[in-house]
Chains A and B, each alone.
Chain A
Amino acid sequence: MSKKKMICIMCPIGCELTVSKQGEKITVEGNRCLRGREYGINEMVNPRRVLTMSVKVENGEMDLVSVRTDAPIPKKLIYDIIEYIKKLKVKAPVKRGEIIVKNIFNTGVNLIATRTVEKTKMGGEDEIRTCTGSGNDKLSGNCV
């Protein structure tokens, strides 16, 4: 039987878990919720993490669009995926939730944009200043 102590990272409480594996059977102790149990089992079998990064944007009102994997990816692939994401470039506009890379590294997980980056307006930054508000065009009437 193998036993592992770990800290659950599913929420800020940080439960101290003891995960035991006997044959196929995995038991989790110390968790206070079901998410903790799932985390403990995954950590034993195939640890996974959500990866958050940013991707370069061409012609955007910002130089970067923030991205995340829409589900956790295997930890062992994380450095390969990081290097791959660094080389990516997308064209504005990018909408929040838009898939940047489908099925990244055959994980079944997509890389999605976590913010909206509109196309840059002629004249660059100063032009953008004329409409600020929340960055939502519908709100522009409300802007100064």
Chain B
Amino acid sequence: MRKEKVDVLVIGGGAAGLAAAIESANHGVKTILLERERKTGGVLNQCIHNGFGLHVFKQELTGPEFMELLWEELSKTSAIVKSDSTVLKIAPESKEVTVLSREGVVIYQVKSLIVSTGARERSLNNLGIPGARVAGVFTAGVVQKMVNIYNRLPGHNVLIVGSGDIGLIMARRLKIEGMNVVGVVEIMPEPGGLIRNVVQCLEDFDIPLWLSHTVTEIHGTGRLEGVTVAKVDGELKPILGTEKFLKVDTLVTSVGLIPQNGLIENFVEMDPINRGPVIDDLMRTSVEWIFAAGNNVAVHDLVDFVYEEGKIAGKYAALYALGEKLPGVKYNFKRGNNVGVMLPHRVTGEIPFKMYIRSKKILKSCEVKFNGKRFRIFNWKIRPSEMLDLHLNKFDAFSETTNVEVNELE
């Protein structure tokens, strides 16, 4: 077993990991980026639709373009990319990371670590729909990879379950490629994805969206032959008598993402609502040499935000590796009224930072308050599917425990 010393080790080469590796290497420390797959880029590889990069590159790019721009930045640095490499274990006491790659098992002795392992899709099994486990049922991301990377269509007639962004984008994508897209069913009364995607993916392509509907049964032996769809009531229970049989051979699920934290969740303080590590404005976890960035911290709306987090994590992980004393946490945030996903959880008060909040409910307009003091008004409709991002550079409203609330404005 080979052992190797490294200043900053980055786990996961998606947008966050690439940004982190670039920033870390630019601080002059030995940086290694580990990627499980053959190529870095993560989900950007298969997200061939546009809408990426408005914040970071000031232009509207597709996923592969965003990814290649990061590759170009990375290639100008001394960062080393190790692909086909899977992390088996992180030892929190010895700061050793065990990695399985084509050179065998390697143990990296790190000064600091950045975890940017992203998120996985929830699958149909997470939903518990009765019926056989037939062929023809896919998650949206898997279908996206089949269609956009491997040039394969999953079937002929498809129903999409869940109106998350990938589901909406795949509804359009499959229609463009010639599949009969029967529709999108969403159990909630509001679409799960961004409203712009409802417009440009469904309305533009005449794909029906059934809100307050769900799949109640899966039919078929061997291959999917159809599904039963029913309307749901206010408690999300199917309403008897509203069942409808839809003849489809393909079911695509887009029912949310789960941050992947299997490597650290046993020894890093976790936030059950974000489903990611508790984090500060330096993207530092509760373990001072472990940093995290991207969708494993919380599921984000925009790759641009993930990239920005990667940069922050890369900077402070590098400074930590250089032996610099990083500032301690001064202010903590507590979820108050109507605050769902929220990050960071605490800040040093030394640097301006961005805070992301998801409202739990749809609000016509709202105010964000810190310790009862209004910080900002959002004068438009707020949805849980759209993160509020706040730029903070003054800390006078904060205290050791700062209450954060999102209140509806009358």
| Contact digits for B269-302, partner A, Cβ 8 Å, 1 yes 0 no | 0000000000000000000000000000000011
Among residues 61 to 120 in chain A, which have CB atoms less than 8 Å away from a CB atom of chain B? Answer: 62-64, 66, 68, 75, 78, 82, 86, 96, 114-116
| B149 and A12 contact, CB distance less than 8 A | no
Given contacts A11-B54, A54-B48, A135-B71, are A63 and B196 in contact (CB under 8 A)? no
Partner of B60, one of A50, A54, A86, A144: A50
Does B40 reach chain A (CB closer than 8 Å)?
yes
| A53 and B176 contact, CB distance less than 8 A | yes
In whole Å, how far is A111's beta carbon from the nearest beta carbon of chain B?
Answer: 13
| A49 and B196 contact, CB distance less than 8 A | no
Please, which residues of chain A bring their CB within 8 A of the CB of B380? Answer: 13, 15-16, 32
Please, which residues of chain A bring their CB within 8 A of the CB of B195? Answer: 7, 14
Does B255 reach chain A (CB closer than 8 Å)?
no
Does A2 reach chain B (CB closer than 8 Å)?
no
Does B265 reach chain A (CB closer than 8 Å)?
no
Please, which residues of chain B bring their CB within 8 A of the CB of A54? Answer: 48, 148, 151
In whole Å, how far is A2's beta carbon from the nearest beta carbon of chain B?
Answer: 19
Please, which residues of chain B bring their CB within 8 A of the CB of A49? Answer: 200, 204
The chain A residue sitting closest to B67, CB to CB, is A115
Shortest Cβ-Cβ A-B pairs, 4 listed? A115-B64, A66-B48, A14-B195, A132-B83
Interface residues of B (CB under 8 A from A): 13, 18, 35, 38-41, 48-50, 54, 60-62, 64-65, 67-68, 71-72, 74-75, 79-85, 101-103, 148-151, 176-178, 194-196, 198-200, 204, 301-302, 380-381, 386
Q: How far is the CA of A15 from the CA of B35 in the complex (A)?
A: 38
Please, which residues of chain B bring their CB within 8 A of the CB of A6? Answer: 199
Known: A12-B194, A16-B380, A75-B204; 14 extra A-B contacts, CB below 8 A, are: A7-B198, A14-B196, A52-B50, A53-B48, A54-B151, A68-B48, A86-B177, A114-B48, A114-B61, A134-B41, A135-B39, A136-B71, A143-B81, A144-B103
- State the total of A-B contacts with C-beta under 8 angstroms: 122
Please, which residues of chain A bring their CB within 8 A of the CB of B71? Answer: 134-136, 139
The chain A residue sitting closest to B381, CB to CB, is A16
Please, which residues of chain A bring their CB within 8 A of the CB of B61? Answer: 114
Given contacts A52-B48, A66-B148, A142-B80, are A128 and B38 in contact (CB under 8 A)? yes
In whole Å, how far is B44's beta carbon from the nearest beta carbon of chain A?
Answer: 10
In whole Å, how far is A71's beta carbon from the nearest beta carbon of chain B?
Answer: 10
Q: How far is the CA of A11 from the CA of B151 in the complex (A)?
A: 29
The chain A residue sitting closest to B48, CB to CB, is A66
